[in-house]
Structure 1
Amino acid sequence: MSGLRERQKQERRALIAEAALSVFKSNGFAATTVESIANAAGVSPPTVVNYFGSKQGVLLALLQEPDYRAIQETSERVRDYTDPVDALCDLEMTITGNQIKAIPASLWREIIPLWLNGDADEVFRAWNDAVVEGSQSLLVHFRERGLLRKDLDLVFVARVVNDWANIAFVRLAAQDEPDMEAHGEYMRQAFTLLCEGIAEPAKVGGTRARKAVRAR
């Protein structure tokens, strides 16, 4: 019986989220109220609050669901890669593709300024934290395989990956017809730069090489 109740709760939660997305598309995020979401979902406003807390909570759920799905989709596949750049590109492009499909450009154009201005900060911070955790898990996997330096601060690297991806995503989401190919090429260049660095490789026997050896 408890399994049935849980399934019913999940179905109702999904119903409310789907109704909210429809209202966000029609009215815009700012003009949408908990009451209008409740009306669209056929439930009471307290029910919406009980499941999500607020309309910001519904937005967070809508943002997180495509990311969770992308991380789940790629969790096993990316571990077969031998190049961290390929794995990061796969993860980022899957997340981005899901987000672009889930939320229309018109709504992104409204919520991106909220994101950049720090409005509804708890929503976007929680959204980003989930992606950072996914990236960090991937980086841990590659460090354990000896493909990344052992002294890396993986939390910091994961946040850099996320910040870089966010900057590119803002540009992409503002397009009426997102150019995923160009986005993918840019992110590959960015991740390659992150993984390989910009310094000229030290010459064998040179001063920089000796310093590098001592630093290890």
Structure 2
Amino acid sequence: MATLRARQKEDRRKRIVSSAKTLFREKGYEKTTIENIAEAAGVSGVTVHNYYGTKAGVLLALVVENDAALIARLDETLPSEDVDLIELVIGFAHTVMDHAIKNLDKEIWRQVIAAVTTEAGTRLSEAYSRLDQQLAYALIKKIEAAQAKGSIPEKVDPVHLGKALFHLQNARFIQFISSDAMSRKEIETRLRNDMTALFSVCIG
């Protein structure tokens, strides 16, 4: 059982992340300060700094927390029988983009990508990287299940294939957040074209 001190610490973390999410959406990332977050969370600026180091660190913590729910959603919604690989990846990308925009806008997601670079090597950046790996494995699990049912040839390595397809959709996700004018439908069309071209070469 968690001690009172541990519960209080976790409560402060949750308040900081929740307050940051609200402020980022209302004021924008650039106009939000550590002091704003601390005041909204009812803690000191020193506490925010001690927990997360920088504003970018708070942002990465927010993404890590939100994406834990995304992994569960992917596991529940993606098919594992009679899988068409193209439709599987399109469904994966659709869910990722839908989840991302429901939680943070594109401007803030651009800051997330920047934070991954500026916070490289930190505990939170490593947590973000582990999260990416978990997202990839959500796709890999579906490929493995399809392979077990005979939908995908045994000679295919599901881990390598899943990671390759994850990185492909991740590149399109970055393109999606890089432009306010880019729609999910357009990204899905481009991703479908990517995979159709690649698979036609492999089959040919």
TM-score scaled by structure 1? 0.70
The alignment's C-alpha RMSD in Å is: 3.3
Rate the CA distance shift 1:74–1:163 in 2: closer, same or farther, 3 A. Answer: closer
Map of 1:58-77 to 2, 5 A cutoff?
58-77=58-77
Q: Which of 176, 181, 184 lines up with 1:180 in the alignment?
A: 184
Contact 2:20-2:37 within 8 A present in 1 as well: yes
Map of 1:38-187 to 2, 5 A cutoff?
38-45=38-45, 47-48=47-48, 52=52, 55-83=55-83, 84-115=85-116, 118-122=117-121, 123=125, 124-187=128-191
Unmatched 5+ stretches in structure 2: none
Cα distance in 2 for residues equivalent to 1:6 and 1:93: 37
Rate the CA distance shift 1:150–1:55 in 2: closer, same or farther, 3 A. Answer: farther
Rate the CA distance shift 1:125–1:200 in 2: closer, same or farther, 3 A. Answer: closer
Contact 1:34-1:55 within 8 A present in 2 as well: yes
- Could you say which residue in structure 2 is the equivalent of 1:210? none
**Greater radius of gyration (CA):** 1
Q: Per the alignment, in what secondary structure is the counterpart of residue 90 of structure 1? A: helix
Task: Calculate percent identity across the aligned residue pairs.
Answer: 27
Residue 193 of structure 2 is aligned to residue 189 of structure 1: yes
Structure number with greater CO (CA < 8 Å, separation at least 6) is 2
TM-score scaled by structure 2? 0.74
TM-fit CA distance, 1:173: 0.8
Contact 2:79-2:142 within 8 A present in 1 as well: yes
Unmatched 5+ stretches in structure 1: 202-216
TM-fit CA distance, 1:161: 1.9
Q: How many residues align?
A: 197
Rate the CA distance shift 1:167–1:5 in 2: closer, same or farther, 3 A. Answer: same
Rate the CA distance shift 1:140–1:58 in 2: closer, same or farther, 3 A. Answer: farther
